[in-house]
Chain A
């Protein structure tokens, strides 16, 4: 799973560039981190960092509690982002 783990600084740095792709991926409704990872073709560990960064600055929000699969779904906040 982590064989190609990138340097954490590099992963965080990519967050700004990933906002738009993540918003696009969330345009059709809420998704879990693994679902977003699949849509973006990026590792889930990296997608989590980016989505949580977006959550922190008010661009996405969780939808309820974790489901039976153990994953929370996230949605884009309308009107947020640039």
Chain B
């Protein structure tokens, strides 16, 4: 589709120009950056001096625009560039922003709004009230289609390797929808309770709130919803999809369980083969009970079996390929890294030297050595080493020393784990490598030597030692925690010839070299975080599902999400942030005994306090409540912006105006005093679609009785750099005076003004009528406003008719803010091509004889983009601009 004319802006002027050009037979494209056309006029209460309902007279114009056969309207779209070409036309670039709603399906029912869990200030109500991230701009919106406001992916969500919508479940908890929050996590993984306790929370590392007063307690919120989750009574599992396949998963750790869960949800029949006696992998056998009680793992596993997944424990699979011959359409190998790495030093074979996996498993089975009063040395600096050390303390060891190659501040274990271990009495000896273990059949001590380097210049692990500096650490038990590797024995047909460099599976599709065989989790990546393994399980399931459904594996689609929001952009949305401290850290017992869970559950009050700290970085939280609520299935969070280039013959700039920012007159207290509002805010308060149920003052919801207007706020004011009269403030104030006195017959309305400018047809009569209705016009300048203890406002003013300095008290003060130029139009053109006037409105090069013509031939300006105008003037001006544009089109002839 090509267009003769581009109209930038869908307010009253843009609509008028578009309709006029369309009536002449030209093909017109209107580009409006908001989600509805209508501009400012549709938001007004009434228009002056006729007091016609603004909505009633604007909506027919809006309908005429969108239904005009020659006019196409793009809302939520922006013109990014306009370049004149040699033949008198223009090359333009237009970005249509994603609505994340299928417009063809959306019925405008508003159910997505009602379900939405994020509140943001409603720009269509001057910020007096909140709307939702999913919203329809206003009741008369054209098109009446919902939009989901998304600034990007929230950093917490973007930072989750498991693909869990962290922001989403935080927002659901904030809304009191705990079970929905649980279900949202379930969309990614069945391991809600386990991750809520043991995840190292990369979401919290990414949380924007880190830059204020600490991250939102996202992980603990996940635990909160898991703790509150009411597991349904055991029921018959859902019948598998007849079109689904039969899949074997080897290994019931985080990756395997997640893979099986996702495949079962997709309708496949899944069997998990697990070598050990219980499912859970490292969750069951590697993580101490004080961090993760077995009952929690069992509850998470039950999520999987409830879907009909069969788990066969005690079954070791030595030949995964052979499973295909047993009728499985696909196999996922998720066997993890169950082999403890050995430390090749003297004495490693002594009794009393064990590996961390064995030790932790013994502790889980209540089969650990008797350590009461004994000394334990743990070798290693990772999280497993810390788990082993803290477990040893709980088993009664009098002295536990962690000997690590890395110095304390460089230990691979997470800093808070290291801190907690120290608080529990674990001694840290960083910067020591192990020369050997000392003993005779049974170990007596560890013999460390000073480590001088851990990695080489390339970052590769290459420890160096100073053998002259040694020591001896007495130990009754030595626990070696220097790494874990996969068990290659069942992978003989799959392991690449150079296992050190070649991956077991394609990192994107997780497909192995054998068709139909996939691998996921630590067996592919090496030891990693649980959440990373979960993400691998999800990915494998998606790829296997594609294979079984006959679709190509689309890893790019699996990974697709909006870019993460820049935290600086998030923090920049607010002028000030209230400090909201994170939850207090729990007390640590310096001599812990037993394996009772350490971290207490979050109370509901704590959960709400935590969620209240969320900054809603991405705006939409991706909680999926709208998806659930939409009866038309119209939500499409996968949409993306579309950019297109096109040539047009002429451009009409109808970019409108902006209002003076009232807080630039600090003496009036706008933004500090709740009952000081702007004229636009008052228009919203008076409109039929107003934000409140009736006319109330924003400070406390009381119906105001004494109302003051201060005219020329930000107009005719050299102090704020705007010497111009805004031309509409007097009249809209008088209009509001009349509406107020109609709505509140007992109200006193006072207008502070130097003079009233009522130059227009019927305007003077309108002014006189307001006076006759009871409005008091005081010739005076307000110098200062003070707020009283009750929120009333004390105006100090100079009475220009001889009264001198006076003061008067009001319930509500309205600042009649002026009109300023909108800088948008200027940015559309190459530097300097579009000339602006002294106040930065679009300059009309011959305003007397050729109104609407700009400095760029073929570009015309309509309405308030050229200067302050009332509505009739703006419409006249837009008609003139359309006529000029039509003449230009005739001059340049048809586009060939």
* Minimum CB–CB distance for B779 against chain A, Å: 30
Most buried by A among B171, B176, B611: B176
A71 touches B701 (CB 8 A): yes
B770-801: which residues lie under 8 A (CB-CB) from chain A? 787-791
Which residues of the other chain, A, contact B2 by a CB distance below 8 angstroms? none
Determine if B700 and A48 form an interchain contact, defined as CB atoms under 8 angstroms apart: yes
- Judging by beta carbons under 8 Å apart, are B788 and A82 in contact? no
Shortest Cβ gap from A55 to chain B (Å): 6
**Which chain A residues lie closer than 8 Å to B578 at the CB level?**
6-7, 10
Residues of B within 8 A of A37 (CB): 700
Which residue of chain A has its CB nearest to the CB of B115?
Answer: A82
User: By the criterion CB–CB under 8 Å, are A9 and B121 in contact?
Assistant: yes
Q: B546 within 8 Å of A by Cβ?
A: no
Instruction: Select the residue from B132, B171, B177 with max chain A CB neighbours within 10 A.
Output: B132
Q: How many residues of A contact B (CB 8 A)?
A: 41
Does A52 have its Cβ within 8 Å of any Cβ on chain B? Answer: yes
User: What does the 1/0 interface line of A5-38 toward B look like (CB < 8 Å)?
Assistant: 1111110111111011000000000001110010
Nearest B-chain residue to A48, judged by Cβ: B701
Contact B701 A15 (CB under 8 A): no
Annotate B651-684 by CB proximity to A: 1 below 8 A, 0 otherwise. Answer: 0000000000000000001011110000000000
Q: A6-B578, A82-B175 are in contact. Are A1 and B701 (CB under 8 A)?
A: no
Q: Give the chain A neighbours of B176 by CB distance below 8 A.
A: 19-20, 82
Question: Given the complex, which residues of A lie within 8 Å of B274, measured CB to CB?
Answer: none
Could you mark each residue 37-64 of chain A with 1 if its beta carbon is under 8 Å from any beta carbon of chain B, else 0?
1000000110111011101111001100
Question: Is B574 an interface residue, CB under 8 A from the partner?
Answer: yes
* Most A C-beta atoms less than 10 A away, residue of B130, B132, B696: B130
B-chain residues with CB within 8 Å of residue A5 when the two chains form the complex:
671-672, 674
Q: Nearest chain A CB to B326's CB is how many angstroms away? A: 47
| Interchain pairs with CB closer than 8 A, number | 131
Residues of B within 8 A of A45 (CB): 674, 698-700
In the complex, are the beta carbons of B791 and A33 less than 8 A apart?
A: no
User: For the complex, is B582 an interface residue (Cβ under 8 Å from A)?
Assistant: no
**A72 on interface, CB distance cutoff 8 Å:** yes
Asked whether A2 lies within 8 Å of B791 as measured between CB atoms, the reply is yes
Contacts of B673 in A (CB 8 A): 1-2
Q: B174 contacts the other chain (Cβ, under 8 Å)?
A: yes
Contacts of A8 in B (CB 8 A): 121, 127
| Interface flags, B590-620, vs A, CB<8A=1, else 0 | 0000000000000000001001101110000
- Rounded to whole angstroms, the CA-CA distance of A8 and B573 in the bound complex is 10
Min CB gap A77→B, angstroms: 12
Q: Does B186 belong to the interface (CB within 8 Å)?
A: no
Give min CB distance, B813 to chain A, whole Å.
Answer: 13
- Please state if B114 and A57 are interface contacts (CB–CB under 8 Å): yes
User: Taking each of B119, B171, B576, B693, which has the highest tally of chain A beta carbons within 10 Å of its own beta carbon?
Assistant: B119
Contact of A12 among B120, B177, B692 (CB under 8 A): B120
Whether B703 is near chain A, meaning CB under 8 Å from some CB there, is yes
Find chain B residues with CB under 8 A from A71 CB: 700-703
Verify B577–A10 contact, CB threshold 8 A: yes
Which residues from chain A contact B790 at a C-beta distance below 8 Å? 1
Contact B787–A2 (Cβ < 8 Å): yes
A52 and B691 within 8 A (CB): yes
Chain A neighbourhood of B131, CB < 8 A: 56
Interface residues of A (CB under 8 A from B): 1-2, 5-10, 12-17, 19-20, 32-34, 37, 44-45, 47-49, 51-53, 55-58, 61-62, 65-66, 69-72, 82
- With A1-B789, A16-B117, A45-B674 known, 5 other A-B pairs at CB within 8 A are A45-B699, A48-B699, A56-B129, A70-B705, A82-B175
A-B contact pairs, 22 of them (CB 8 A): A2-B787, A7-B576, A7-B577, A9-B121, A9-B574, A15-B119, A16-B119, A16-B175, A17-B175, A17-B611, A19-B175, A20-B176, A33-B701, A44-B699, A45-B674, A45-B700, A48-B699, A52-B129, A57-B132, A66-B694, A82-B175, A82-B176
